[in-house]
Structure 1
Protein backbone atom coordinates (compact mmCIF):
# COMPACT_ATOMS: atom_id res chain seq x y z
CA UNK A 1 0.00 0.00 0.00
CA UNK A 2 0.96 3.61 -0.54
CA UNK A 3 0.33 5.27 2.81
CA UNK A 4 -0.25 8.94 3.68
CA UNK A 5 0.83 9.84 7.20
CA UNK A 6 -1.29 12.74 8.44
CA UNK A 7 0.79 13.67 11.45
CA UNK A 8 4.51 12.95 11.42
CA UNK A 9 5.43 13.17 15.07
CA UNK A 10 6.75 10.32 17.17
CA UNK A 11 3.79 8.08 16.33
CA UNK A 12 3.99 8.91 12.63
CA UNK A 13 7.67 8.01 12.55
CA UNK A 14 7.02 4.74 14.39
CA UNK A 15 4.26 3.87 11.91
CA UNK A 16 6.60 4.66 9.02
CA UNK A 17 9.19 2.20 10.32
CA UNK A 18 6.66 -0.62 10.82
CA UNK A 19 4.92 0.03 7.48
CA UNK A 20 8.18 -0.15 5.52
CA UNK A 21 9.14 -3.33 7.36
CA UNK A 22 5.82 -4.84 6.23
CA UNK A 23 6.43 -3.93 2.58
CA UNK A 24 4.47 -0.70 2.27
CA UNK A 25 5.62 2.74 1.12
CA UNK A 26 5.06 6.18 2.60
CA UNK A 27 4.06 8.61 -0.13
CA UNK A 28 3.00 11.56 2.04
CA UNK A 29 4.24 12.87 5.37
CA UNK A 30 2.26 15.80 6.75
CA UNK A 31 3.86 17.25 9.84
CA UNK A 32 2.03 20.58 10.23
CA UNK A 33 -1.64 21.14 11.03
CA UNK A 34 -1.72 24.01 8.54
CA UNK A 35 0.13 22.21 5.77
CA UNK A 36 -1.80 21.62 2.52
CA UNK A 37 -1.53 18.14 1.06
CA UNK A 38 -2.49 16.04 -1.94
CA UNK A 39 -3.72 12.45 -1.73
CA UNK A 40 -3.14 11.75 -5.42
CA UNK A 41 -0.48 9.07 -4.90
CA UNK A 42 -2.01 7.42 -1.81
CA UNK A 43 -4.02 4.24 -1.29
CA UNK A 44 -4.86 4.89 2.37
CA UNK A 45 -4.29 7.53 5.04
CA UNK A 46 -3.34 7.09 8.68
CA UNK A 47 -4.23 10.09 10.83
CA UNK A 48 -2.29 10.81 14.01
CA UNK A 49 -2.57 14.58 13.81
CA UNK A 50 -3.83 17.12 16.36
CA UNK A 51 -7.41 17.18 17.69
CA UNK A 52 -7.87 20.59 16.05
CA UNK A 53 -7.04 19.27 12.57
CA UNK A 54 -8.30 15.67 12.69
CA UNK A 55 -11.83 16.36 11.44
CA UNK A 56 -10.58 18.36 8.45
CA UNK A 57 -7.98 15.70 7.63
CA UNK A 58 -10.44 12.82 7.85
CA UNK A 59 -13.06 14.72 5.86
CA UNK A 60 -10.60 15.50 3.06
CA UNK A 61 -9.69 11.81 2.78
CA UNK A 62 -13.31 10.66 2.66
CA UNK A 63 -14.24 13.29 0.11
CA UNK A 64 -11.29 12.16 -2.04
CA UNK A 65 -12.31 8.50 -1.81
CA UNK A 66 -9.26 7.56 0.27
CA UNK A 67 -9.77 5.06 3.12
CA UNK A 68 -8.66 6.61 6.40
CA UNK A 69 -7.94 5.31 9.86
CA UNK A 70 -7.51 7.67 12.79
CA UNK A 71 -5.88 7.35 16.17
CA UNK A 72 -6.15 11.03 17.03
CA UNK A 73 -8.15 11.59 20.21
CA UNK A 74 -9.89 14.67 21.54
CA UNK A 75 -12.18 15.32 18.53
CA UNK A 76 -15.02 12.84 19.14
CA UNK A 77 -17.72 15.49 19.53
CA UNK A 78 -17.65 15.41 15.72
CA UNK A 79 -17.57 11.61 15.39
CA UNK A 80 -21.19 11.36 14.19
CA UNK A 81 -20.46 14.01 11.56
CA UNK A 82 -17.59 11.89 10.21
CA UNK A 83 -19.74 8.75 10.23
CA UNK A 84 -22.40 10.57 8.20
CA UNK A 85 -19.78 11.79 5.73
CA UNK A 86 -18.34 8.29 5.39
CA UNK A 87 -21.79 6.90 4.68
CA UNK A 88 -22.69 9.61 2.15
CA UNK A 89 -19.39 9.17 0.26
CA UNK A 90 -19.54 5.35 0.54
CA UNK A 91 -16.08 5.59 2.01
CA UNK A 92 -13.95 3.70 4.47
CA UNK A 93 -13.22 4.85 8.02
CA UNK A 94 -11.81 3.25 11.15
CA UNK A 95 -11.29 5.07 14.45
CA UNK A 96 -9.57 3.63 17.50
CA UNK A 97 -8.72 5.36 20.74
CA UNK A 98 -5.81 2.93 20.92
CA UNK A 99 -4.45 0.69 18.16
CA UNK A 100 -2.43 -1.58 20.43
CA UNK A 101 -3.58 -5.16 19.92
CA UNK A 102 -3.03 -5.80 23.62
CA UNK A 103 -5.11 -2.79 24.66
CA UNK A 104 -8.00 -3.93 22.50
CA UNK A 105 -7.94 -7.30 24.25
CA UNK A 106 -7.78 -5.31 27.52
CA UNK A 107 -10.96 -3.47 26.49
CA UNK A 108 -12.78 -6.80 26.31
CA UNK A 109 -11.38 -7.97 29.67
CA UNK A 110 -12.53 -4.68 31.16
CA UNK A 111 -16.10 -5.17 29.99
CA UNK A 112 -16.17 -8.78 31.19
CA UNK A 113 -14.91 -7.77 34.63
CA UNK A 114 -17.38 -4.87 34.78
CA UNK A 115 -20.29 -7.23 34.13
CA UNK A 116 -19.16 -9.41 37.05
CA UNK A 117 -18.57 -6.46 39.37
CA UNK A 118 -21.99 -4.94 38.59
CA UNK A 119 -23.42 -7.48 41.03
CA UNK A 120 -21.12 -6.27 43.84
CA UNK A 121 -22.00 -2.62 44.59
CA UNK A 122 -19.66 -2.40 47.59
CA UNK A 123 -16.74 -2.21 45.16
CA UNK A 124 -16.09 1.27 43.78
CA UNK A 125 -14.21 1.56 40.51
CA UNK A 126 -11.47 3.98 39.47
CA UNK A 127 -9.70 4.32 36.12
CA UNK A 128 -6.09 5.48 36.24
CA UNK A 129 -4.02 6.43 33.20
CA UNK A 130 -0.43 7.63 32.85
CA UNK A 131 1.06 9.13 29.69
CA UNK A 132 4.06 11.14 28.59
CA UNK A 133 4.04 14.89 29.18
CA UNK A 134 3.65 15.64 25.45
CA UNK A 135 0.15 14.13 25.36
CA UNK A 136 -2.23 17.05 24.92
CA UNK A 137 -5.59 15.59 25.95
CA UNK A 138 -6.64 14.31 29.37
CA UNK A 139 -8.08 11.89 30.07
CA UNK A 140 -6.73 9.74 27.28
CA UNK A 141 -9.08 8.37 24.66
CA UNK A 142 -8.19 4.91 25.93
CA UNK A 143 -9.27 5.81 29.47
CA UNK A 144 -12.56 7.16 28.13
CA UNK A 145 -13.12 3.94 26.17
CA UNK A 146 -12.45 1.92 29.33
CA UNK A 147 -14.81 4.08 31.38
CA UNK A 148 -17.54 3.80 28.75
CA UNK A 149 -17.03 0.04 28.67
CA UNK A 150 -17.73 -0.07 32.42
CA UNK A 151 -20.74 2.25 32.08
CA UNK A 152 -22.21 -0.07 29.46
CA UNK A 153 -22.13 -3.03 31.87
CA UNK A 154 -23.00 -1.38 35.21
CA UNK A 155 -25.15 1.27 36.87
CA UNK A 156 -22.47 3.93 36.53
CA UNK A 157 -23.78 6.82 34.43
CA UNK A 158 -20.72 8.90 33.50
CA UNK A 159 -17.04 9.52 34.18
CA UNK A 160 -15.34 12.54 35.71
CA UNK A 161 -11.87 13.97 36.32
CA UNK A 162 -13.18 15.52 39.53
CA UNK A 163 -14.05 13.79 42.79
CA UNK A 164 -16.69 11.28 41.69
CA UNK A 165 -20.25 11.50 42.93
CA UNK A 166 -22.65 8.60 43.21
CA UNK A 167 -22.80 6.65 39.93
CA UNK A 168 -19.74 8.44 38.52
CA UNK A 169 -16.42 6.81 37.59
CA UNK A 170 -13.39 8.76 38.71
CA UNK A 171 -10.57 8.96 36.15
CA UNK A 172 -7.13 9.87 37.45
CA UNK A 173 -4.94 11.22 34.61
CA UNK A 174 -1.21 11.56 35.24
CA UNK A 175 1.46 12.97 32.92
CA UNK A 176 5.00 11.68 33.51
CA UNK A 177 8.02 12.00 31.22
CA UNK A 178 8.72 9.08 28.86
CA UNK A 179 5.68 6.94 29.72
CA UNK A 180 4.15 5.49 26.50
CA UNK A 181 0.88 4.60 28.19
CA UNK A 182 -0.37 2.77 31.28
CA UNK A 183 -4.03 2.08 32.08
CA UNK A 184 -5.38 0.46 35.23
CA UNK A 185 -8.87 -0.44 36.41
CA UNK A 186 -9.22 -0.66 40.19
CA UNK A 187 -12.23 -2.04 42.05
CA UNK A 188 -11.88 -1.35 45.76
CA UNK A 189 -13.97 -2.32 48.76
CA UNK A 190 -13.33 -2.15 52.49
CA UNK A 191 -11.92 -5.68 52.47
CA UNK A 192 -9.92 -5.99 49.26
CA UNK A 193 -9.12 -4.66 45.79
CA UNK A 194 -9.23 -6.13 42.28
CA UNK A 195 -7.03 -4.59 39.60
CA UNK A 196 -6.36 -5.17 35.91
CA UNK A 197 -3.63 -3.25 34.15
CA UNK A 198 -2.14 -2.72 30.71
CA UNK A 199 1.35 -1.26 30.37
CA UNK A 200 2.79 -0.22 27.01
CA UNK A 201 6.57 -0.58 26.81
CA UNK A 202 7.02 1.44 23.60
CA UNK A 203 5.13 3.07 20.73
CA UNK A 204 5.82 0.11 18.44
CA UNK A 205 2.74 -1.73 19.65
CA UNK A 206 0.50 1.18 18.71
CA UNK A 207 2.24 1.57 15.35
CA UNK A 208 1.92 -2.13 14.50
CA UNK A 209 -1.78 -2.12 15.30
CA UNK A 210 -2.32 0.96 13.13
CA UNK A 211 -0.61 -0.65 10.14
CA UNK A 212 -2.51 -3.91 10.63
CA UNK A 213 -5.76 -1.91 10.77
CA UNK A 214 -4.82 -0.15 7.52
CA UNK A 215 -4.10 -3.51 5.88
CA UNK A 216 -7.50 -4.77 7.04
CA UNK A 217 -9.64 -1.89 5.74
CA UNK A 218 -7.84 -0.75 2.60
CA UNK A 219 -9.98 -2.90 0.24
CA UNK A 220 -13.23 -2.60 2.20
CA UNK A 221 -16.07 -0.09 2.41
CA UNK A 222 -17.79 1.04 5.58
CA UNK A 223 -17.14 2.02 9.17
CA UNK A 224 -14.94 -0.25 11.25
CA UNK A 225 -13.38 -0.64 14.68
CA UNK A 226 -10.51 -2.66 16.07
CA UNK A 227 -13.06 -5.32 17.05
CA UNK A 228 -13.49 -5.95 13.33
CA UNK A 229 -9.73 -6.11 12.81
CA UNK A 230 -9.33 -8.62 15.65
CA UNK A 231 -12.55 -10.51 14.79
CA UNK A 232 -13.98 -9.93 18.26
CA UNK A 233 -17.74 -10.45 18.26
Structure 2
Protein backbone atom coordinates (compact mmCIF):
# COMPACT_ATOMS: atom_id res chain seq x y z
CA UNK A 1 0.00 0.00 0.00
CA UNK A 2 1.28 3.46 -0.91
CA UNK A 3 0.74 5.99 1.89
CA UNK A 4 0.82 9.79 1.90
CA UNK A 5 1.70 11.28 5.28
CA UNK A 6 0.18 14.73 5.79
CA UNK A 7 2.10 15.98 8.80
CA UNK A 8 5.62 14.71 9.32
CA UNK A 9 6.33 15.50 12.94
CA UNK A 10 6.86 12.98 15.73
CA UNK A 11 3.54 11.28 15.05
CA UNK A 12 4.06 11.13 11.29
CA UNK A 13 7.49 9.57 11.74
CA UNK A 14 6.10 7.00 14.18
CA UNK A 15 3.41 6.09 11.64
CA UNK A 16 6.05 5.76 8.92
CA UNK A 17 8.05 3.32 11.03
CA UNK A 18 5.03 1.11 11.69
CA UNK A 19 3.90 1.30 8.05
CA UNK A 20 7.31 0.16 6.81
CA UNK A 21 7.35 -2.69 9.32
CA UNK A 22 4.00 -3.85 7.93
CA UNK A 23 5.29 -3.86 4.35
CA UNK A 24 3.85 -0.56 3.11
CA UNK A 25 5.55 2.32 1.32
CA UNK A 26 5.43 5.99 2.23
CA UNK A 27 5.52 7.87 -1.07
CA UNK A 28 4.70 11.38 0.16
CA UNK A 29 5.73 13.19 3.32
CA UNK A 30 4.24 16.65 3.80
CA UNK A 31 5.64 18.90 6.51
CA UNK A 32 5.94 22.63 7.09
CA UNK A 33 8.93 22.91 4.76
CA UNK A 34 7.37 21.37 1.63
CA UNK A 35 3.69 22.35 1.55
CA UNK A 36 4.04 23.01 -2.19
CA UNK A 37 4.32 19.24 -2.72
CA UNK A 38 0.82 18.74 -1.26
CA UNK A 39 -0.67 18.68 -4.75
CA UNK A 40 -3.35 16.63 -6.42
CA UNK A 41 -0.74 15.18 -8.77
CA UNK A 42 1.27 13.82 -5.86
CA UNK A 43 -1.72 12.74 -3.80
CA UNK A 44 -3.28 10.55 -6.48
CA UNK A 45 -0.21 8.31 -6.39
CA UNK A 46 -1.22 7.23 -2.87
CA UNK A 47 -3.71 4.52 -1.92
CA UNK A 48 -4.44 6.23 1.43
CA UNK A 49 -3.54 9.52 3.11
CA UNK A 50 -2.92 9.74 6.86
CA UNK A 51 -3.34 13.24 8.30
CA UNK A 52 -1.84 14.31 11.65
CA UNK A 53 -1.32 18.08 11.75
CA UNK A 54 -3.25 20.67 13.76
CA UNK A 55 -6.88 21.71 14.29
CA UNK A 56 -6.23 24.77 12.10
CA UNK A 57 -4.86 22.79 9.14
CA UNK A 58 -6.81 19.55 9.34
CA UNK A 59 -10.12 20.59 7.70
CA UNK A 60 -8.50 21.92 4.53
CA UNK A 61 -6.04 19.02 4.40
CA UNK A 62 -8.82 16.44 4.62
CA UNK A 63 -10.95 18.21 2.01
CA UNK A 64 -7.94 18.38 -0.33
CA UNK A 65 -7.41 14.61 -0.01
CA UNK A 66 -11.09 13.89 -0.64
CA UNK A 67 -11.07 16.21 -3.65
CA UNK A 68 -8.22 14.14 -5.06
CA UNK A 69 -10.23 10.95 -4.55
CA UNK A 70 -7.83 9.57 -1.92
CA UNK A 71 -9.19 7.81 1.18
CA UNK A 72 -8.10 9.77 4.23
CA UNK A 73 -7.42 8.89 7.86
CA UNK A 74 -7.38 11.89 10.21
CA UNK A 75 -5.98 11.93 13.72
CA UNK A 76 -5.98 15.69 14.23
CA UNK A 77 -8.33 16.74 17.02
CA UNK A 78 -9.84 20.05 18.09
CA UNK A 79 -11.93 20.70 14.96
CA UNK A 80 -15.20 18.95 15.82
CA UNK A 81 -17.16 22.08 14.86
CA UNK A 82 -16.00 21.67 11.24
CA UNK A 83 -16.05 17.90 11.02
CA UNK A 84 -19.37 18.03 9.17
CA UNK A 85 -17.60 19.65 6.20
CA UNK A 86 -15.42 16.59 5.69
CA UNK A 87 -18.37 14.24 6.09
CA UNK A 88 -20.42 16.19 3.55
CA UNK A 89 -17.52 16.21 1.07
CA UNK A 90 -16.98 12.49 1.57
CA UNK A 91 -20.64 11.74 0.85
CA UNK A 92 -20.80 13.97 -2.23
CA UNK A 93 -17.56 12.63 -3.69
CA UNK A 94 -18.27 8.99 -2.79
CA UNK A 95 -15.01 8.92 -0.91
CA UNK A 96 -13.69 7.29 2.23
CA UNK A 97 -13.01 9.10 5.49
CA UNK A 98 -12.16 8.05 9.02
CA UNK A 99 -11.51 10.49 11.84
CA UNK A 100 -10.74 9.38 15.39
CA UNK A 101 -9.89 11.18 18.58
CA UNK A 102 -7.51 8.32 19.37
CA UNK A 103 -6.26 5.44 17.19
CA UNK A 104 -4.81 3.33 19.98
CA UNK A 105 -6.38 -0.13 20.16
CA UNK A 106 -6.09 0.02 23.95
CA UNK A 107 -7.88 3.38 24.10
CA UNK A 108 -10.71 2.12 21.92
CA UNK A 109 -11.16 -0.84 24.27
CA UNK A 110 -11.06 1.70 27.11
CA UNK A 111 -13.88 3.61 25.37
CA UNK A 112 -16.10 0.51 25.49
CA UNK A 113 -15.37 0.02 29.21
CA UNK A 114 -16.15 3.70 29.83
CA UNK A 115 -19.58 3.43 28.21
CA UNK A 116 -20.44 0.30 30.16
CA UNK A 117 -19.32 1.78 33.48
CA UNK A 118 -21.30 4.99 32.91
CA UNK A 119 -24.41 2.94 32.21
CA UNK A 120 -23.90 0.94 35.41
CA UNK A 121 -23.55 4.14 37.45
CA UNK A 122 -27.02 5.36 36.49
CA UNK A 123 -28.45 3.61 39.55
CA UNK A 124 -25.90 5.15 41.93
CA UNK A 125 -26.34 8.95 42.05
CA UNK A 126 -24.13 9.28 45.12
CA UNK A 127 -21.09 8.90 42.84
CA UNK A 128 -19.78 12.11 41.28
CA UNK A 129 -17.84 11.71 38.03
CA UNK A 130 -14.90 13.66 36.60
CA UNK A 131 -12.29 13.22 33.86
CA UNK A 132 -8.61 14.09 33.91
CA UNK A 133 -6.16 13.97 31.00
CA UNK A 134 -2.40 14.58 30.88
CA UNK A 135 -0.41 15.18 27.70
CA UNK A 136 2.91 16.56 26.50
CA UNK A 137 3.34 20.33 26.52
CA UNK A 138 3.35 20.54 22.71
CA UNK A 139 -0.27 19.39 22.45
CA UNK A 140 -2.26 22.29 21.01
CA UNK A 141 -5.84 21.49 22.07
CA UNK A 142 -7.27 21.16 25.57
CA UNK A 143 -9.08 19.12 26.59
CA UNK A 144 -7.81 16.36 24.35
CA UNK A 145 -10.06 14.82 21.74
CA UNK A 146 -9.89 11.57 23.67
CA UNK A 147 -11.10 13.29 26.85
CA UNK A 148 -13.99 14.84 24.91
CA UNK A 149 -14.92 11.44 23.51
CA UNK A 150 -14.88 9.97 27.02
CA UNK A 151 -17.04 12.83 28.29
CA UNK A 152 -19.55 12.46 25.46
CA UNK A 153 -19.79 8.74 26.15
CA UNK A 154 -20.47 9.39 29.84
CA UNK A 155 -23.13 11.97 28.99
CA UNK A 156 -24.79 9.56 26.54
CA UNK A 157 -24.94 6.81 29.15
CA UNK A 158 -25.26 8.63 32.50
CA UNK A 159 -28.59 10.41 32.61
CA UNK A 160 -27.70 12.93 35.32
CA UNK A 161 -24.89 14.53 33.28
CA UNK A 162 -25.90 16.91 30.46
CA UNK A 163 -22.69 18.64 29.36
CA UNK A 164 -18.94 18.73 30.03
CA UNK A 165 -16.85 21.76 30.94
CA UNK A 166 -13.11 22.34 31.20
CA UNK A 167 -11.80 23.27 34.66
CA UNK A 168 -15.30 23.46 36.11
CA UNK A 169 -16.35 22.46 39.62
CA UNK A 170 -18.58 19.43 39.85
CA UNK A 171 -22.23 20.27 39.37
CA UNK A 172 -25.50 18.45 39.23
CA UNK A 173 -25.47 18.32 35.40
CA UNK A 174 -21.84 19.30 34.70
CA UNK A 175 -19.11 16.77 33.94
CA UNK A 176 -15.78 18.50 34.74
CA UNK A 177 -12.62 17.82 32.71
CA UNK A 178 -9.15 18.70 33.94
CA UNK A 179 -6.35 19.03 31.35
CA UNK A 180 -2.73 18.84 32.50
CA UNK A 181 0.37 19.44 30.35
CA UNK A 182 3.73 17.89 31.28
CA UNK A 183 6.94 17.21 29.35
CA UNK A 184 7.20 13.96 27.40
CA UNK A 185 3.82 12.47 28.34
CA UNK A 186 2.25 10.59 25.36
CA UNK A 187 -1.18 10.57 27.01
CA UNK A 188 -2.97 9.50 30.20
CA UNK A 189 -6.75 9.55 30.70
CA UNK A 190 -8.69 8.86 33.89
CA UNK A 191 -12.42 8.63 34.53
CA UNK A 192 -13.09 8.96 38.24
CA UNK A 193 -16.27 8.20 40.19
CA UNK A 194 -16.11 9.47 43.79
CA UNK A 195 -18.48 8.93 46.69
CA UNK A 196 -18.27 9.49 50.44
CA UNK A 197 -17.66 5.76 50.88
CA UNK A 198 -15.24 4.89 48.08
CA UNK A 199 -13.85 5.75 44.64
CA UNK A 200 -13.95 3.90 41.34
CA UNK A 201 -11.45 4.82 38.64
CA UNK A 202 -10.61 3.55 35.17
CA UNK A 203 -7.48 4.76 33.42
CA UNK A 204 -5.47 4.36 30.25
CA UNK A 205 -1.79 5.29 30.10
CA UNK A 206 0.14 5.33 26.82
CA UNK A 207 3.84 4.48 27.09
CA UNK A 208 4.78 5.69 23.61
CA UNK A 209 3.32 6.86 20.29
CA UNK A 210 3.59 3.37 18.82
CA UNK A 211 0.06 2.38 19.82
CA UNK A 212 -1.42 5.44 18.11
CA UNK A 213 0.73 4.82 15.03
CA UNK A 214 -0.27 1.16 14.76
CA UNK A 215 -3.95 2.04 15.02
CA UNK A 216 -3.61 4.66 12.28
CA UNK A 217 -1.96 2.15 9.94
CA UNK A 218 -4.61 -0.47 10.74
CA UNK A 219 -7.26 2.14 9.91
CA UNK A 220 -5.52 2.87 6.59
CA UNK A 221 -5.45 -0.83 5.74
CA UNK A 222 -9.14 -1.10 6.60
CA UNK A 223 -10.31 1.92 4.60
CA UNK A 224 -8.21 1.43 1.46
CA UNK A 225 -10.83 -0.36 -0.66
CA UNK A 226 -13.95 0.99 1.06
CA UNK A 227 -16.30 3.92 0.52
CA UNK A 228 -18.06 5.84 3.26
CA UNK A 229 -17.51 7.37 6.69
CA UNK A 230 -16.00 5.10 9.33
CA UNK A 231 -14.87 5.02 12.95
CA UNK A 232 -12.29 3.02 14.87
CA UNK A 233 -15.13 0.75 16.03
CA UNK A 234 -15.44 -0.35 12.39
CA UNK A 235 -11.71 -1.02 12.25
CA UNK A 236 -11.73 -3.09 15.44
CA UNK A 237 -14.71 -5.11 14.21
CA UNK A 238 -13.16 -5.58 10.77
CA UNK A 239 -9.48 -6.30 11.25
CA UNK A 240 -8.14 -5.57 14.71
CA UNK A 241 -5.52 -8.26 14.13
The CA distance in 1 between the partners of 2:77 and 2:237, in whole Å, is 23
User: Mapping of 1:1-233 within 5 angstroms?
Assistant: 1-32=1-32, 35-36=35-36, 37-38=38-39, 39-155=43-159, 156-161=161-166, 162-231=168-237
Name whichever structure is richer in helix by fraction. 2
The CA distance in 2 between the partners of 1:134 and 1:65, in whole Å, is 32
Q: Note if contact 1:33-1:49 (Cα within 8 Å) is conserved in structure 2.
A: no
- Alignment deviations for residues 172-226 of structure 1 (CA, whole Å, 9 cap, x no partner): 1000101100001100001100000100000000000000000001000000000
Please state how far the C-alpha of 1:73 moved relative to its aligned partner.
0.3
Number of aligned residues: 232
Please state how far the C-alpha of 1:29 moved relative to its aligned partner.
0.7
Please state how far the C-alpha of 1:165 moved relative to its aligned partner.
2.8
SS at match of 2:141: coil
- Gaps of at least 5 residues in structure 1 are none
Please state how far the C-alpha of 1:35 moved relative to its aligned partner.
1.4
- 81-90 or 35-44, which moves further after superposition? 35-44
CA RMSD of aligned residues (A): 1.2
Q: Note if contact 1:73-1:137 (Cα within 8 Å) is conserved in structure 2.
A: yes
Q: Note if contact 1:68-1:93 (Cα within 8 Å) is conserved in structure 2.
A: yes
- Alignment deviations for residues 140-179 of structure 1 (CA, whole Å, 9 cap, x no partner): 0000000000000012111001224321110010001011
SS at match of 1:74: coil
- Alignment deviations for residues 7-50 of structure 1 (CA, whole Å, 9 cap, x no partner): 10100000000000101111111112981312132111000011
The CA distance in 1 between the partners of 2:80 and 2:32, in whole Å, is 21
The CA distance in 1 between the partners of 2:132 and 2:223, in whole Å, is 32
SS at match of 1:170: strand
The CA distance in 1 between the partners of 2:202 and 2:170, in whole Å, is 20
